[in-house]
A and B are shown apart, each in its own frame.
Chain A
Amino acid sequence: MRTNLMMTAAAGAILATGMTTAAMADGHATDLTLCWAAWDPANSLIELSKDFEEQSGHTMNFEFVPWTSFADRMLNELNSGGQLCDLMIGDSQWIGGGAENGHYVKLNDFFDANGITMDDFLPATVTGYAEWPKNTPNYYALPAYADVVGWTYRKDWFERPELQVEFMDTYGRALDVPANLAELKDIAEFFQGRDIDGTTVYGAAIYTERGSEGITMGVTNVLYNYGFEYENPDQPYDIDGFVNSAGAVEGLQFYKDLYDVGTPPGSSNWYMGENIDAYRSGQVAMQMNFAFIWPGVEADENVGGGNSGYFPNPAGPAGQFAQLGGQGISVVAYSEKQDAALEYIQWFAQPEVQQRWWDLGGASALRAVVEDPDFATSQPYAQTFLDSMAIVKDFWAEPAYADLLIPMQERMHNFVIAGDGTAQEALDGLVRDWIEVFEDEGKI
């Protein structure tokens, strides 16, 4: 593996030299703009891209938008045929719309011509970030940032002898990483309202946000593990009985119970940022969040440095799955600088660049990086990241994904947070909403 990396590095250096010479000699040094969300990994990408600027002679500009308005801002840009972005690291759910509406350049020929193969990337990320239609070899993005929902917990609290004893007395087992969702709820309940070092703390910070995609990205982690399916595996878009199966209803009820008994008061509209803040400030014993936060947790002076541990989304009665996050990088079809944008993708796909991406706090989806024997021990959260990436499922990536997401946000928030109706009614309502969308789309 190391030898391969060395050879690829050498090839990359030759390629880079060629790129620079070509760009400079032709006077084609270009100003490229890359659009992404404003979050920690974006800062790592700026750092990483300095190498590209040096090697290619192109200049990289960045347009980063906070997650809560990222979809609004960038989908407006794409729908209006805007030329602000030459490269787009768009959300995984945009891939269908990006492909069908002609926003993204199809990359198959480019990959073939440059020896980039999707076999080199984690299969889940290829399906999730690059392919449309799913499970067909039509690529509109290169997997750029592998991400998945997982859990962070206060290892230092879990290890306290007095809490260990009390937990054992109450639940008859050791206070440790939960083996399943039911155990996770017990732990959340155990910490809820507890006094630790003079501060009242709570069980878990979970996703409850209403405005964008928060509660959907949270509740699916439970629904999947209780038997929720998006559709009949044998008949696409046949959703009745799968979305609202008995298991799915039980799972949704579980998420509401967890919210009711194990989350901080006032956490009715929390997503990534709020969960991070609650965890770092010592308000909660556990937090649900995407893996991108883990480097930041490790570096934090309060909760990092061995005080935190990580575990994949625990199993439920129907299996163990986790919500996929992450994004692929695409070339925007309206860009007039597509050649330079493709150069960036070619550079980004190189193994040594991907390795540096991981080292800087990014999350590579390249197998050469994540399957390296040293990877699992490279960071305290690396093994959890690998385990989590192996169990991912993703939300719809249809062109109409937003039409599907909004009713789910509405139905889930109405039931889990507002306590309106029953879990069965919420999921039955969701089925009706989604059927209407698919009818409008002409899919059924």
Chain B
Amino acid sequence: MTYSPIDRAAAKTPDGVARRIRGLSDRTIAWIFVAPTIFLLLAVNIFPLIWTIRLSFTNFRVNRPNNAVEWVGLRNYERILTDPDVWNTMQATAHFLIWTITLQVLIGFTLAYLINKKFRGNDLWTTIIVFPMMLSPAVVGNFWTFLYQPQIGLFNYVVAFFTGVDPASFSMIGDVHLAPWAIVIADTWMWTPFVMLICLAGLRSIPDSIYEAAECDRASKWRQFWTITIPMALPFLMLAVLFRGIENFKMFDLVVQLTGGGPGNTTTLTSIDLKREAFEKWRTGYSSAYAVILFVTVFGLASIYVKALNKVKER
């Protein structure tokens, strides 16, 4: 007779404990196991969320503990949604999101496609490419600040080398037209390897037999790419877009380090704006409403996206 690990664990259970749990149903035992996790989730996630929603209807300010807290209804929401500055930060965030995701997916997939080919030094190149995402965003921000320095920065000199312009004649982080691209370039440099790794996982999950069958059918490489590689890697690509989308929607550290949200408000993303409202202006009620709006936006978009992702996976 063979004993499973569960049987062996049951045999080792002290008699006193065994007697106490003998009468418990499977459902009760399941609850005992999940209860600590549920309690933690409630304490760390759900309660703060409910509390934030409650505060969003008040004029509470955490730096004025002695002031009376008044119920202001939807006034905070109204002020946020009608504030042109908030919409400007939304626009800056949309620009940042769209371009970083587009570039990272295009470059990341291309790199993954190349790395997926067997060649000498493959592992070494993979390690080199992955290096930027191992760094702290604050370090990357600081590092790119130097690269973008008009007088000593390597970036300006590279541009000058190819275009012939004076390197000191333009400032990537000081010019309103260039600064939004400065943060896109730095983020793309840092996070493209992450997209590449996900795409690589997708490409390596495609069985060779499918390509072999296509070869038998005399399908060209181009046709194989569009009818096998892309459709089968698509769920992974979509997953990469989801991860990067959520991450970049809350982007803070890299951009603060690089531009501080400037020049002017050009690179003030919503997360930076929210932080200023919450922890510099200390408008707790207002910033709670702001946070709720952002949460609903991300949650809504992510839900729609996940449904689309599931449909692609089912195909």
Contacts and interface: CB of A to CB of B under 8 A. Distances in A.
Do A and B pair up? The answer is yes
Interface of A: 71-72, 75-76, 79, 97, 100-102, 200, 209-211, 264-269, 283, 399, 402-403, 406, 410, 413-415, 417-420
Nearest to B259: A269
Interface string B260-276: 11111110000000001
B280 A265 contact: no
> For chain B, which range describes its interface: under 10, 10 to 19, 20 to 34, or 35 or more residues?
20 to 34
A157 to B, nearest CB: 18
Contacts of B280: 71-72, 402, 406
B76 to A, nearest CB: 12
Contact of B151 (A72, A102, A266, A399): A266
B264 A410 contact: yes
5 pairs of A and B residues whose beta carbons are closest in the complex = A268-B174, A418-B264, A414-B264, A211-B260, A210-B262
Nearest to B166: A265
Nearest to A437: B281
Contact of A266 (B66, B174, B266): B174
**Chain B's interface: helix, strand, loop or mixed, by majority?**
loop
B261 A102 contact: no
Contacts of B256: 211
Nearest to B277: A406
Nearest to A199: B151
Contacts of B151: 200, 264-266, 283
Interface string B124-167: 00000000000000000000000011110100000000000000
Contacts of A414: 263-265
6 contacts: A72-B279, A101-B63, A211-B261, A265-B168, A267-B174, A268-B263
A71 B63 CA distance: 13
Contact of B148 (A100, A266, A403): A266
Nearest to A210: B262
Contacts of A269: 173-174, 259-260, 262-263
B64 interface: yes
Contacts of A97: 63
B169 interface: yes
Given A209-B260, A414-B265, A266 B173 contact: yes
B154 to A, nearest CB: 13
Contacts of A210: 259-264
Contact of B262 (A267, A268, A402, A406): A268
Contacts of B264: 210, 410, 413-415, 417-418, 420
